[in-house]
Amino acid sequence: MLKINNLNATIDNKSILKGFSLNINPGEVHAIMGPNGSGKSTLSNILSGKKGYETSGEILFEGKDLFELETEERAHKGIFLAFQYPLEIPGVNTNIFLKTSLNAIRKARGEKELDAIEFLKLVKEKSKDLKFDEDKLNRQLNVGFSGGEKKKNEILQMSLLAPKLSILDETDSGLDIDALKIVADGVNTLRDKKNSFLIITHYQRLLDYIKPDFVHVLMNGKIVKSGGPELAIELENKGYENFN
Amino acid sequence: MDNRQKEIDNLKDYKYGFSTDIENTRAPKGLNENVIKFISNIKKEPEWMLDFRLKAFERFKLLKEPDWQKPKYPKIDYQDLYYYSAPKSMDDKPKSLDELDPKLLETYKKLGIPLQEQARLNGIAVDAVFDSVSVATTFREELTKHGIIFCPISEAIQKHPELVKKYLGSVIPTTDHFFATLNSAVFTDGSFAYIPEGVRCPMELSTYFRINASNTGQFERTLIIADKGSYVSYLEGCTAPMRDENQLHAANVELIALDDAEIKYSTVQNWYPGDKDGKGGIYNFVTKRGLCKGKNSKISWTQVETGSAITWKYPSCILRGDNSVGEFYSIAITNNHQKADTGTKMIHLGKNTKSKIISKGISAGFSDMTYRGLVDISAKATNSNNYTQCDSLLMGNKCGAHTVPYIKNKNSESTIAHEATTSKISEEQLHYCQQRGLSSEEAVGLIVNGFCKEVLQQLPMEFAVEAQKLVGISLEGSVG
C-alpha cells in the first residue's frame, strides 16, 4: 500500500529524515516510536503533503508517486492524518466542516454526496460510538475544545472518512486513560484486511490497546530497528538513550 | 488540473465587465450652472427642484475635497466629466417595456435581472437605473394596490412633489459635505419609495444600478420613506464595465422611518474593482444616512462590498425617536489593489436608543481596508446602548487592515461596548482543510463564509446565496 524508499527531507537547511524506508501492506498496523526531534512529525507532514520541505527519495501509495499529488488529492485517495495539533477554525461550524469534507471525498471516489439528513444520521451514530459530545458538533471547529476533545474529533473524522491509510501523529499525547481507550476503539473498529495504520507515538501505552503488527524505532532520521510488539516494551524499559 | 485551473480563471474574470453599445444623449462636458439646468430641464423638473440644485452648487463651490481618508487617489478633474448620459431611446420615455430598446432589455438579461413580465424575479420589484436614467420599474401595479409608491426619483419629483419636497435633503442637507453636496447639485436618477401608514411591503424593493457610458459620473439619489407602522426591505445591486479609467459613483441615499416603522436596506456592491494591477475601477464615494425620526422606529443597513477600486462610505443612523434602533452589518472585501474605508455612524439622540454594529473586513492581495466608525451618544440619550464588533481577516502578508473607532458618550446612564479581532488564514489551517479533501479555494470559501456568517444571515434569502458566491469569487486566486 505505502512504500517509502530512501526518503530524505530537509527544512530550512536542516536535514531531518536521512534515508528513511518503510513498507506498509494492506491491513497492517505499524507503530513508529522515537524521541523528540527524531523526525516523526516530519514524516507525517510529508506524507500528508505539507509544503516547505526539500525532499529526495520515493514514496509510492498504491503504486502512485505521492509527490505528484496535491494534499487534497492524497486525501481523496484515502490517506488520512490525525493531526498532533488539530487546527482551530473560528466561524466554521464543526458539522458543516465534517459534511463538506466527507462529501468532497465521496465525490472524488465517485460516490453520491450525502444530504443533510443522511449526514446527520451518520455523524450522530459515529459520535455515539466515540462518546463524542454531540453539542460540540454545533460549535466552531475545535474552538474551545479541550485537548482530548480535539483528538477525539480527529478520530471521529477518521471514522467518517473511512480512509485506507490512517496516520496517527501522537494522537495519544494529552489523553487520559478513558479517552485513550476510545481512540483505540475507533482504530480497532476500522481495522480490517484492507485498511492500514501508521501510529506515531512516544509511548508504549497506546499500543496496549492497539496491537501493532510491526514496531519501528526512529532515531536521527531513520529507522534503526524494527520488530514486533515486544520491541515497544523493550523500548519503554530501556529508554531511547540506552537503545542502540 | 487544467480544467480546474480554467474554471478558476473564468471565475476570476469580472463577469459583468461587458459594455452595451448604445447611442447616448449627454450633457455638455463639465460642471457649471448650464449643465445643472440641462439636467433639470431634460428631467422636466419643477422650479423648486432646480433651485435646490443651484443652491447646492453655490455651496459646492465653497467646499474643499476632503483628504482625511486612508485610500488616496489621483485628483479628479470635475470639469472633465460628463454629468448626464442616457440612452437616446430614453429621450421620449417609453410607455411600456415593449417600447424599451431591446439592447437595454438584453443588457439586464445578461446581468441576471430580467425585466420582462414573464421572466421577472419572483417577489422582487426592480427599478433598473442605467447611467443617468431609470429605464424600467417592475411590479408597479401590484405595489400601487397597497398604496406603495415605487418609482424613479425623477418621476416622484413630478408626481409626488409634496413628499419629495418634504423629505429630500432632510437627512443629508445640501450643505453636508463635498460629495453629498455635489450629488445634490447634479444627481440624475435613483429610486423613490413611500410605504404608507401601517403597510407591510409585500415584496422586496430593489434598484439595480448599472454604469455603462465612459467618462461619466453616476450620481444616484435614493429616497425611502416608511410612514408610521410600515415595513420595507430594500436591496440595491451595482455593476459596471471593465475600463482602464476610474469612474466616479457618488450617491446620496436618504432613509426616513416614522413612528414604529422599519426599513431594512441591503446593498450588494459589485462595481468593477479594477484589474489585478490596480488599473481602472469605480470610485464608490457614497453618502448613506437613515433617520429614525419616529419613536420605536428601526433602520438596519446590511452591506456586502466586494467591488470598486476605492470604497468610501459610512451608512449611518440618526436615532432621534425614543426607543429607536439602528443596525449596521457589513462585509467588506478587498483584493488585489482595492482599497476601502468604510464603517458607520450611530448618532444617539433619543432616549432608550440602541445600535448594533457588526463589521467583517477581509483583505487579500495588496489591498488595504479600514473600518472607521462613530458611536455618539448625546447627553439626552438616556439609557441607550451600542454594541460594536469589528473583525478583520487577513490573507497573505501584503495587505492591510485598520480599525478606527470614534466613541463619544455624553450620558452616564448609557453604555458602549466595542470588541475587535484580527485574524489571518494560516497555511496550517489551509493544510488541515486540504488534508480533509478540500481544495485550497474550497477551504478559503469555507473559512471566509464562516467568518461572514453573521452578516450574510441578515440578507434577504434570495440574495444570501448570491452574496455567498460573490464572497468566494472576490477572493479567487488570493491563496497559494
CA–CA min distance A192, chain B (Å): 22
Query: In the predicted model, what is the mean pLDDT of residues B330-337?
Result: 91
β B133-137/B124-130 pair status? antiparallel
Using pLDDT thresholds of 50, 70 and 90, give the confidence band for residue A24: very high
pTM: 0.84
Query: Would you say residue B243 has pLDDT above 80?
Result: no
Query: In the predicted model, what is the mean pLDDT of residues B61-73?
Result: 92
Q: Name chain A contacts of B479, Cβ cutoff 8 Å.
A: none
Using pLDDT thresholds of 50, 70 and 90, give the confidence band for residue B327: very high
Query: Would you say residue A22 has pLDDT above 90?
Result: yes
Using pLDDT thresholds of 50, 70 and 90, give the confidence band for residue B477: low
Quote the percentage of chain A above a pLDDT of 90: 82
Query: In the predicted model, what is the mean pLDDT of residues B155-168?
Result: 95
For A94-138, the pLDDT digits (tens) are 999 999 999 999 999 999 999 999 999 999 999 998 889 999 999
pLDDT at B119: 62
Q: Is A55 on the interface with B (CB under 8 A)?
A: no
Phi-psi region of B240 (alpha: psi -120 to 50; beta: other; left: phi over 0): beta
Query: Helix count (H) and strand count (E) of chain B?
Result: 11, 23
β A79-82/B133-137 pair status? unpaired
Query: Would you say residue B8 has pLDDT above 50?
Result: no
Cell 485517495 sits on residue = A77
ipTM: 0.96
CA–CA min distance A233, chain B (Å): 32
Burial of A221 (0-12, 13-18, 19+ CB in 10 A): buried
What whole-number distance in Å separates Cα of residue B199 and Cα of residue B143? 11
Q: Name chain A contacts of B429, Cβ cutoff 8 Å.
A: 87, 89
Q: Compare CB distances from B453 to A80, A91, A105 and report the shortest one's residue.
A: A91
Q: How many CB pairs under 8 A join A and B?
A: 75
For B114-149, the pLDDT digits (tens) are 777 666 666 778 888 888 777 778 888 889 999 999
Query: In the predicted model, what is the mean pLDDT of residues B92-102?
Result: 75
Q: Is the CB of A71 less than 8 angstroms away from the CB of B450? A: no
Q: Best interface-test mutation with A: which of B358, B393, B431 has the largest number of A CBs within 10 A?
A: B431
Task: Please give the distance of CA A104 from its chain centroid, rounded to a whole number.
Answer: 19
β B221-226/B252-257 pair status? parallel
According to DSSP, residue B367 is labeled -
Query: Would you say residue B10 has pLDDT above 50?
Result: no
For B425-437, the pLDDT digits (tens) are 888 999 999 999 9
- Counted residue by residue, chain A has a size of 244
A45, closest residue in chain B (CA to CA):
B431
Q: Compare CB distances from A100 to B423, B431, B446 and report the shortest one's residue.
A: B446
For the ranges A87-96, B62-71, B243-252, which has the lowest average pLDDT?
Answer: B243-252
What whole-number distance in Å separates Cα of residue A30 and Cα of residue B317? 64
What is the helix (H) or strand (E) element at residue A223, kind and residue range?
strand A222-227
Q: Is the CB of A104 less than 8 angstroms away from the CB of B428? A: no
For A192-202, the pLDDT digits (tens) are 999 999 999 98
Q: Is B446 on the interface with A (CB under 8 A)?
A: yes
pLDDT at B1: 41
Of the spans A17-31, A227-241, B199-213, B384-398, which averages the highest pLDDT?
Answer: A17-31
Query: Would you say residue B46 has pLDDT above 90?
Result: yes
Q: Under 8 Å CB-to-CB from A110, ≥6 apart: which residues? A: none
pLDDT at B28: 86
pLDDT at B48: 96
Using pLDDT thresholds of 50, 70 and 90, give the confidence band for residue B187: very high
pLDDT at B121: 67
pLDDT at A202: 85
Q: Compare CB distances from B446 to A48, A92, A105 and report the shortest one's residue.
A: A92
HSE-CB at A60 with a 13 A cutoff on CA atoms is 10
- What mean pLDDT value characterizes chain A? 93
Using pLDDT thresholds of 50, 70 and 90, give the confidence band for residue B468: confident
Query: Would you say residue A222 has pLDDT above 50?
Result: yes
